Amino acid sequence: MASGTILVVDDSAESRELVVDVLTASGYVVLEAEDGAELLERAKRERPALILLDLQLPGMDGFTLARQLKADPETKGIPILAVSAYAMPEHQARALAAGCDGYLPKPVNIRDLTETVAHMLRCDPPSSPGGAASA
């Protein structure tokens, strides 16, 4: 896996651009995908160190994609951070059960995003979100 390379998957260009800008400013190499098919292809080809996965995607949703990524020997070791507007606790539990390794709600809190990404890339458990700066 490429150290510090992150694949951001979101069908909203605006949301994707914000996350890409924040992570690029933090020194990461950031790749983008806007749907599940592109995610699966890029994950196998690029082998990112981390995937940021929107759960609400057209066609194949993020829950299904997480299960597919974790079932594939080529991508099962890539940590997945779910980033979603689904705000209920059961959505977080469902994302984790599908194979996501972490969860952040939208709107994304910039401090929580950068701290969680840094923790996940160090293989530390992320601290619980709770900063004040939202994006």
pLDDT given at position 86 = 82
100 neighbors 68 (Cβ within 8 angstroms) = no
Residue 33's identity, in one-letter code, is A
For residue 111 the two structure tokens come to 């401090």
Alpha helix stretches (DSSP H) within the chain: 13-25, 36-46, 62-71, 89-98, 110-121
Cα–Cα distance, 30 to 37 (Å, whole number): 18
Where exactly are the structural domains of the chain?
A: 5-121
Residues 25-55 have pLDDT tens digits of: 999 999 999 999 999 999 999 999 999 999 9
Cα–Cα distance, 61 to 65 (Å, whole number): 6
Q: What is the mean pLDDT of residues 59-72?
A: 96
Superfamily of domain 5-121 in the CATH hierarchy: Response regulator (3.40.50.2300)
Mean pLDDT of the chain: 88
CA 118 to mean position of chain CA atoms: 12
Q: Which residues contact 117 (CB under 8 A, 6 or more apart)?
A: 6, 23, 26, 28, 50, 52, 81
pLDDT given at position 3 = 54
